[in-house]
Structure 1
Amino acid sequence: MRIWLALLGMVAMMLASASAHAAEAVAISGQPFGVGQITVSFQKADFGDPVDSNSFAIHETDNRIFYPAFEKQRVLGFLQRLAGIDGVTPPQRLTVYFLFTGNEPLNITVSTPTPQTFRITPTPPPHESMLTAMELLWWRKYHEAFREQKEWANYPMVMETYLTAMLSRRLGLPMPPLSKSEMEDQDAFSPDQSVFVLMNSDKVRAAEMRSVMMDQSITSPADLPTPRPINWTDIIAPRPASEVPIEPLAKAVPPDCFYVRFGKLSNYLWLNKLLEENGGDLGMMIAARGVKLGLNEVVQKQLALKQSELSELFGDAVVADVALIGRDAYTREGAAIGMIFQAKQNDLLANDINKNRKDSLRLNKKLGAKLETIKVAGQEISALTTPDNTIRSFYARRGDFHLVTTSRTIAEQFITLNADTDSLGATAEFLQARMRLPLSREDTIFCYMSSQFFQGLYSPQYRVELRRRLRATTEIELLKLARAAAMNEGLPDLKDETLIAHGFLPTSYGRRPDGSHVVEIDGKLQDSLRGAPGNFLPIADVAVTSVNLEEARDFERVREFHVSHWSQMDPLMAGIYRFKLDDKGTERLTIDARMTPFVEEKYGMLTDRLGPPVKRQIVPAPGDVAMMQFVLKGDFDNQLYHYAVGLQDVPFPVDSYASGGLLNTLRMMQSTPGYLTAWPKPGLIDRIPVLGRLATPDQYGYSQFPFGLWRREYNGFSTLSFHREILQYVTPQLALGEDEHSAQARIHIGDISDANVTPLANAMAQSWAKRGSLSNVRFFEEISAQLGVPVDKSKDFAENLLAVEFVCPLDGKYETVGEGAGERWISTAWGNKKLEFEANFLKWFRGLNARVSMGEGQVVLNAEIDMWREKPEPTLKLPTFNFFGGGAAKPKAEKKPTKEKAEEIPPPVTQGQEF
């Protein structure tokens, strides 16, 4: 440590003893890189959103500067970060740490975004340790900059992970110590974290990139037999004694497929219109996102399904029933998914499907599309495909049932299915589900995921192929990044072997167990076995006939975990019914979702701490716009404790809301007109110490905590709030009441579209949206700074790298401004004083009541959601039920004035409903 401090001191003395511009800069030459540091002051013109977005750049006339790290410096910076105002108060200086090549003078322009020019002459280090100290300082700052970006990123940290690992290998620098979250990411492939592999989460993608770059991934040839599957415990689902009515469509569906039934085509159209009103993605109904995946369009194109005007006008007269089915929902990578129809008029439906297929063939001839008749299980079906799987559509018929699917395996299952013995509708599980959510409910949507469906996701085929396709995606991303980094450093030969030899690619690149590899076709990178990213061959269609030792051990660990801790997969079911509440466009969705059978022991602390379902509840106080409550067991007794968090609908100072910083968080909590209450006392609240002792209440039951927190004991309730007046108003009105149904958790949210708390909700959503907007721009500029991609091309590179489209969550448009060294990205929404932001959920949300009950071998969620809806032109897009990933569709098209027939909405029904 003393040596390290001495070396840093020598660096500081060199900086202090230089002249004029050199007083703010130093460059020490070395091989293969020298290390430099330069500090500039901000200009007044820099203050504002471009500075917040890190619109910094450093350029050298001969392109000799690489891998810069930018550090903003403020007076009392630590205290400002603690207060959460470091993103508001303009920084005073910017220090840039960088690598460079050569010994000639460096002609540097630093843009903040105001350009400032410098000429620095590199000097040899007084001794080698000086270069080492400067290099380690740069390395530390480089990694700190990436960690800061990780806090902002709403995309996989693929590029940052690549650069850190690549430079560590090439320069012999130690990998920086992992943060707590990074250490958790390292365990992304452990058996107890296998759900993250199923979800293809960002942490899994980063872990795989790190593993490949460090030559730690699975690469040896597959020469062992496929592992035996997990020995699951059978679901106890006795067949009903009497006949249970089920829909005929269920007997045409394989039992290992998820099943989302719409009942009639008009219900399917309703969901699509709902998606269209909210950007094509149910997740967008809550919050705007910074990326758009276009999954609806991708799957629609892949299946070659486009709803005709005939179907829109006469859909229910042509189609008796329709469902979305699949073996998985990996629509971001390439899913085994399909649509199944029961026809009322076979010829009309078949003609419509075949017309779509011929139109798709004509429009995609340049992609190599071909339409042919193939034999599957001895029967002829129609296959429409392209070499890269952009189109992969199998059309099979079986009596009145028509299936269009991306998966040949699903098509074969459909053809060979014994409807009376082997179908989903023939299983005891499904019959039990239809007893609980009977057909007579006439649900708008009925969802069912069988235990066989979940078991399939944990099969050897899925576990092995999920990791192999993750490796395939990673290697495609690696090659794009390696080529860009090598070109930036001036390497003329970009062949794979050259990139490996120079350290831009790991030595294990291209060595995979199944022999697949990256190929380039028409200038686009894709996998030799799976096709183009985003349209990979469905996992159900990939034959995993052998594995290597590492893959066998990996699956064995997964098997041991599930046999010991999670030996049974519980089926899920949900019924959703919609009806009209008024003539102003307000509708209500009632949701009845169940997991049954449910084994409590598998869910550990979640079920250990919850009390049993009870009808007793805390009644919301007058003026509460929201309340969430739950029942917990006592730590040392059998007493049940009721806890509730309430929010009063009173004006809220929106200016007090700001993201980040301990003090800002505290200020926001202090300003929130909410309270936390518990019954009976003494409970958890009463055990909160105040400066080492328990708070003693005064004669009115009030006691004060540090930071302005108050507690009041009143009528058996113990209540906390930052507002004494809230306690004074709420506590006399707190009471227990009886609900008609038992539950362990309940939530109520009123109509917040025009309430006193609406500005707060909108301000929070706008803050998150702005953060997402800035995050994207930071990524574009990072690509330009680290890989040398021209500024105006960096957005295209980012989208090509991650196979997404970046959009501004503030509804602005990304564009470049400035010229030369000062060119940078902005959003047109920034600084727009006329911008009227409205959070997505405020546009439609009008209220929620929900309760959860765990007991008697099942988990039940009952919910009522009130929503206000527009009525756009009826169009059809395939909904994406992306159970294991995210995605979005294209933005809403501009509405055209039309005279539209009023949509018929069913009236309220109570049969089979719990609300």
Structure 2
Amino acid sequence: MSRTTGILLDSIRFTFAVVFSCALLTQAQAAPEVEAYVGQPLGVARVTVDVFRGEPSLPLNDERFTVVEKDGRAIYPIVKVEPARQFLRGLLGIETPRTVTLYFLFRGEAPFDVSVYSPVEQGVRIKPQRNPQGHLRLLSEWWKQLTERWSRLQKDPEFPPIAENFLVGTFSRRLNRPVPEIGGGLFGLQEKDSALQELFGGEAALLSVDRDMVIGTDDESQRLQDLPPAPNWPSPRIDETQFDEVEIEGLASHVPEECFYLRFGNFTNYFWFRDLNEKWDGDLKNMLLRRGISRLQSSRIEQQLSLKENVLSRILAPQFISDAALIGLDPYMRQGAAIGILVQARNNQLLSQDYMRQRRESLQKFSDATESTVTIAGQDVSLIATPDGRVRSYYAQSGDFHLVATSRKIAERFLEAGQGAGALASLPSFRKARQELDLKREDTIFAFFSEKFFQNLCTPEYWIEVRRRQQAAQQPLLVEMARYAAECEGLPAMTTDELIATGILPKDFGIRADGSHLEETKSGPVDSLRGAPGYFTPVGDMELKQASGAELAAYRKFLANFAEEVGEMPPIAAGVQRLPRTPEEDHTLMIDVLAAPLGTVKLGKLLDSLGDPIEERMKPIAGDVVSFEAVLDVPVPLIGGENQPHILFAGLRDFRSPLVVRRGAVAPNAARSELVRAYVGAWPRPGLLGILQGPDTAKGPEPQALGDQMWQAQAENFLLISFKPDVIQEVEPQLGFEPAERPAQVRFRVDDLTGKQVSEAVNALAYARARETSVAPSRLMNSLANSLHLPRDQSQEFAERLVDGRFVCPLDGEYELNESEGSLPVWSSSALPVANRFMLTEVPEGFKFSFLEWFRGMQGDLRVSDGELAAHVELKMTPAALP
């Protein structure tokens, strides 16, 4: 940046500061602005008041900003967020008095008083007027603010926007307004909902189901039609003759080819996996950063299967079990998956006796559980089940192989596979995976997801039933939200029919094409065909022959999106080894992943830009904390556009970060050239770095200026660029290549961060993220109270049912209602100091990022060639990370 440009920018900033500050000071002295109109379906009002700050900085997007009327007439408040004002504050770096605008709907026509919390209570008189044009305009503004808040939370979720999603769906129908498309974020870089998320039941997909249910469909779309045939997927191109001599474990001959397969090799490894899963609360993502919700799926599956381990079983099981695996037809744990435990017995009699003992215990625990013998695939199978599905355990045996499963379909296919019909062991893609990840590796965990597994999930029978299950599970929760909405609007409606009559719910709400409906029981709602939510009959056990026009239209849309975004899912195999196996030493997890053959799968622009794999890698650079290299073959824009095959590499040096807490976030407190000690480079030609380099080609190994804040050097076809000339001087003499263990296009290393200066910045960023995770449940609870007048002391219980889990503060706090003088009581975690409850203002000195305590380094590589993707990762950790 030139000196003249800098002076000009400073002048613009000063002018903006003067004008903007004067405007805000004028606003701060003004009386509340009020506009209110009666109309249908409800009156609408806008009020603008001063922000009363008792703290250095105050975010307008927290849930302390709301409107309350003593008789509940003011409903559905929305805070107006002004991006332009936020941008100017960030640009100018100033704190000024400011105002806040809130929109809300109201009941009745008589004047009334409201308490506007901003966040301190201010009394405002509302005098509604009759003005149809004004009502329509203001109602449009309220709708705009509601949908913008909903869209913002969908794109960058600060907490699950469940209340906002319900209101958007309901008022889209009631106001006859379309739900706006969720934009792609700045420059379209934000990802939209994906077909994969829809296939695997992501949060955005579940919100979409909720929204569609409260919007409703027309009568024509409910007419039943026959199901279309399953998609005609291309067969993987595999030369089967290559795998005739591949050694295959016995279990695989009894696993259906359309099941996922997690094989442990022995029961000791299975217990290790269970303990690891339990240690990290059922979600291995918690190893990096703890999530705010503890799911209940593992305990539900264990209850359904009627298998519960104890100290004795840990001792005895390895003596009569030689191999073990988890298998399943789908990953839908949230509402009851088709899953089973398959084992190979050393001693059939002892194993059968142990299983029967555990099953008898389940019969005693559940008074309505019964045991019966059912005939499946021509064989007798033991079934223990309750009417609502809370227990559903099939026990089948085929020689030395025993299966306990939640699904009749899995039991049937297990018996068929054992007779040679569609067994995983015969699948060419599995045999190819077993050639690459062979039995001699003795993996602690071997996982395989066949192309048949993914294809089964995409059949109309499976996809449509999954959607029906989601509707059945969400129906009682949506009814409960609708009751709160009816109470807000002063409508005497409690039953579903009454809520439909008032218009809160659509006329077709709860009607499913299969005729299923909810029934109230002492233990809660039960679906007439599927059982209790969370314990539904597995998808594969449901018979589906017809679907409504709306369901088929949604399915066709999914297939089109899947073809555009994914193409097809390849078979995926993974092997995990843990070395050493003694608990006292640091461990290394060796993880290998293979996706082959890739077929028509769409990998994305980054992987499509890779060049050919090479058998060399960059030599390690002393002092690097993180390093990365990639072989690229990509057209370089702006400098000719021709392909320039090259190696792009980068490294992060250890440094003390200038990051500080500023305006609610961890932000830099220095020029960009001081933010990191890092470098980027290319060999044997500049490639993508030519965009940075421009016409100023480096000559020689000594650092040369590149613009105002960067430096460059070039020697032996290595181009090096950095913000710091001394970084170039340290790194350039070390550049070179060495032989690699495997050919690859992408390689990376992360050093042990213990004792590194950069660990302070990592710790601060981790606290900021953990704080956001901690605050999310609080914001959901507060949002429900503000939006639907949910009693605040009941918000946690209802919110946890909405997310089907239990809130867990990642900072080890407890969620509690906190009151402050002049403000509404709000939920927050006891682990957050007052200064950090609503905006990050400081990183506590005692905070320690758990990841830093167990992580001891990582390296890996990636190869995409010959129609397959192979990745290898080595993760070093202390025993603290493992059970």
Q: TM-score, normalised by structure 2?
A: 0.86
Counterpart of 1:733 in structure 2 is 734
**Residue 168 (str. 1) matches residue 168 (str. 2):** no
Judge conservation of contact 2:854–2:879 (CA < 8 Å) in 1. Answer: yes
| Residues 1:823 and 1:653: Cα distance change in structure 2 (over 3 Å) | same
| Residues 1:21 and 1:757: Cα distance change in structure 2 (over 3 Å) | closer
Letter in 2 for 1:255: E
Residue by residue, what CA displacement relative to the aligned partner does 1:520-558 show, whole Å, maximum 9, x if unpaired?
333733433223333222111111122344555665677
**Residue 288 (str. 1) matches residue 290 (str. 2):** yes
Judge conservation of contact 1:419–1:426 (CA < 8 Å) in 2. Answer: no
**Residue 837 (str. 1) matches residue 847 (str. 2):** yes
Please give the alpha-carbon distance, in whole angstroms, between the structure 2 residues aligned to 1:63 and 1:550. 38
Please give the alpha-carbon distance, in whole angstroms, between the structure 1 residues aligned to 2:146 and 2:562. 41
| Residues 1:297 and 1:582: Cα distance change in structure 2 (over 3 Å) | closer
Counterpart of 2:75 in structure 1 is 66
Judge conservation of contact 1:156–1:203 (CA < 8 Å) in 2. Answer: no
Q: Mean Cα displacement is larger for which, 580-589 or 741-750?
A: 580-589
Q: Mean Cα displacement is larger for which, 435-444 or 142-151?
A: 142-151
Counterpart of 2:879 in structure 1 is 869
Please give the alpha-carbon distance, in whole angstroms, between the structure 1 residues aligned to 2:565 and 2:116. 57
The DSSP-based 3-state class of the residue aligned with 1:772 is helix
The DSSP-based 3-state class of the residue aligned with 1:627 is strand
Judge conservation of contact 1:73–1:95 (CA < 8 Å) in 2. Answer: no
Judge conservation of contact 2:146–2:164 (CA < 8 Å) in 1. Answer: no
Judge conservation of contact 2:172–2:215 (CA < 8 Å) in 1. Answer: no
The DSSP-based 3-state class of the residue aligned with 1:352 is helix
Letter in 1 for 2:687: G
The DSSP-based 3-state class of the residue aligned with 1:55 is coil
* Aligned with 1:102 (options 93, 108, 113): 108
Shift of residue 796, structure 1, vs aligned partner: 1.4
- How do 1:179-258 and structure 2 match up within 5 A? 179-180=183-184, 193-216=194-217, 219-240=221-242, 243-258=245-260
Judge conservation of contact 2:110–2:128 (CA < 8 Å) in 1. Answer: no
Counterpart of 2:532 in structure 1 is 532
| Residues 1:726 and 1:75: Cα distance change in structure 2 (over 3 Å) | same
Residue by residue, what CA displacement relative to the aligned partner does 1:72-119 show, whole Å, maximum 9, x if unpaired?
789964322457x79xx6974433222222233323223345333x25
Please give the alpha-carbon distance, in whole angstroms, between the structure 2 residues aligned to 1:535 and 1:216. 28
Please give the alpha-carbon distance, in whole angstroms, between the structure 2 residues aligned to 1:161 and 1:561. 23
Letter in 1 for 2:735: L
Judge conservation of contact 1:677–1:718 (CA < 8 Å) in 2. Answer: yes
Shift of residue 748, structure 1, vs aligned partner: 0.8
Counterpart of 1:745 in structure 2 is 746
Counterpart of 1:433 in structure 2 is 433
Counterpart of 2:819 in structure 1 is 818
More RCO (CA 8 Å, sep 6+)? 1
Counterpart of 1:115 in structure 2 is 121
Q: Mean Cα displacement is larger for which, 787-796 or 341-350?
A: 341-350
The DSSP-based 3-state class of the residue aligned with 1:270 is helix
Letter in 2 for 1:649: D
Please give the alpha-carbon distance, in whole angstroms, between the structure 2 residues aligned to 1:182 and 1:781. 29
Judge conservation of contact 1:318–1:343 (CA < 8 Å) in 2. Answer: yes
Q: Mean Cα displacement is larger for which, 337-346 or 423-432?
A: 423-432
**Residue 785 (str. 1) matches residue 786 (str. 2):** yes
Residue identity (%): 33
Judge conservation of contact 1:227–1:555 (CA < 8 Å) in 2. Answer: no
| Residues 1:656 and 1:681: Cα distance change in structure 2 (over 3 Å) | farther
| Residues 1:418 and 1:324: Cα distance change in structure 2 (over 3 Å) | closer
- How do 1:334-413 and structure 2 match up within 5 A? 334-365=336-367, 368-413=368-413
Shift of residue 650, structure 1, vs aligned partner: 2.4
Counterpart of 1:613 in structure 2 is 613
| Residues 1:376 and 1:729: Cα distance change in structure 2 (over 3 Å) | same
| Residues 1:658 and 1:732: Cα distance change in structure 2 (over 3 Å) | farther
Please give the alpha-carbon distance, in whole angstroms, between the structure 1 residues aligned to 2:283 and 2:160. 20
Counterpart of 1:686 in structure 2 is 690
Shift of residue 867, structure 1, vs aligned partner: 1.2
Judge conservation of contact 2:292–2:774 (CA < 8 Å) in 1. Answer: yes
Counterpart of 1:643 in structure 2 is 648
Counterpart of 1:36 in structure 2 is 45
Letter in 1 for 2:145: K
| Residues 1:234 and 1:33: Cα distance change in structure 2 (over 3 Å) | closer
The DSSP-based 3-state class of the residue aligned with 2:327 is strand
Please give the alpha-carbon distance, in whole angstroms, between the structure 1 residues aligned to 2:785 and 2:230. 48
- How do 1:126-137 and structure 2 match up within 5 A? 127-137=131-141
Judge conservation of contact 1:659–1:767 (CA < 8 Å) in 2. Answer: no
Please give the alpha-carbon distance, in whole angstroms, between the structure 2 residues aligned to 1:489 and 1:856. 63
Q: How well do the aligned residues superpose, as a CA RMSD in angstroms? A: 3.7
| Residues 1:418 and 1:361: Cα distance change in structure 2 (over 3 Å) | closer
- How do 1:667-746 and structure 2 match up within 5 A? 670-688=674-692, 694-695=695-696, 700=702, 702-705=704-707, 708-746=709-747
Letter in 2 for 1:854: V
| Residues 1:665 and 1:769: Cα distance change in structure 2 (over 3 Å) | farther
Letter in 1 for 2:127: P
| Residues 1:351 and 1:605: Cα distance change in structure 2 (over 3 Å) | same
Residue by residue, what CA displacement relative to the aligned partner does 1:3-52 show, whole Å, maximum 9, x if unpaired?
xxxxxxxxxxxxx999x996444444444433333344444546678987
Letter in 2 for 1:841: F
Shift of residue 445, structure 1, vs aligned partner: 1.4
5+ residue gaps, structure 2, are: 1-24, 636-640, 835-842
Number of equivalenced pairs: 843
| Residues 1:298 and 1:789: Cα distance change in structure 2 (over 3 Å) | same
Counterpart of 1:124 in structure 2 is 129
Judge conservation of contact 1:610–1:633 (CA < 8 Å) in 2. Answer: yes
Residue by residue, what CA displacement relative to the aligned partner does 1:251-286 show, whole Å, maximum 9, x if unpaired?
222222111111111111122222333333211111
Judge conservation of contact 2:63–2:786 (CA < 8 Å) in 1. Answer: no
- How do 1:748-827 and structure 2 match up within 5 A? 748-818=749-819, 822-827=824-829
Q: Mean Cα displacement is larger for which, 645-654 or 27-36?
A: 27-36
Please give the alpha-carbon distance, in whole angstroms, between the structure 2 residues aligned to 1:702 and 1:836. 43
Shift of residue 790, structure 1, vs aligned partner: 0.8
Counterpart of 2:452 in structure 1 is 452
Please give the alpha-carbon distance, in whole angstroms, between the structure 1 residues aligned to 2:46 and 2:612. 63
Counterpart of 2:261 in structure 1 is 259
The DSSP-based 3-state class of the residue aligned with 1:620 is coil
Shift of residue 397, structure 1, vs aligned partner: 1.9
Q: TM-score, normalised by structure 1?
A: 0.84
The DSSP-based 3-state class of the residue aligned with 2:544 is coil
Please give the alpha-carbon distance, in whole angstroms, between the structure 2 residues aligned to 1:602 and 1:816. 48
Counterpart of 2:19 in structure 1 is none
Shift of residue 396, structure 1, vs aligned partner: 1.5
| Residues 1:430 and 1:75: Cα distance change in structure 2 (over 3 Å) | closer
Shift of residue 784, structure 1, vs aligned partner: 0.5
* Aligned with 2:859 (options 849, 860, 863): 849
| Residues 1:28 and 1:638: Cα distance change in structure 2 (over 3 Å) | closer
Shift of residue 751, structure 1, vs aligned partner: 0.9
Judge conservation of contact 2:236–2:599 (CA < 8 Å) in 1. Answer: no
* Aligned with 2:63 (options 29, 48, 54): 54
Q: Mean Cα displacement is larger for which, 135-144 or 210-219?
A: 210-219
Please give the alpha-carbon distance, in whole angstroms, between the structure 1 residues aligned to 2:81 and 2:561. 47
Shift of residue 508, structure 1, vs aligned partner: 2.9
Judge conservation of contact 1:53–1:777 (CA < 8 Å) in 2. Answer: no
Letter in 2 for 1:142: L
Letter in 2 for 1:650: F
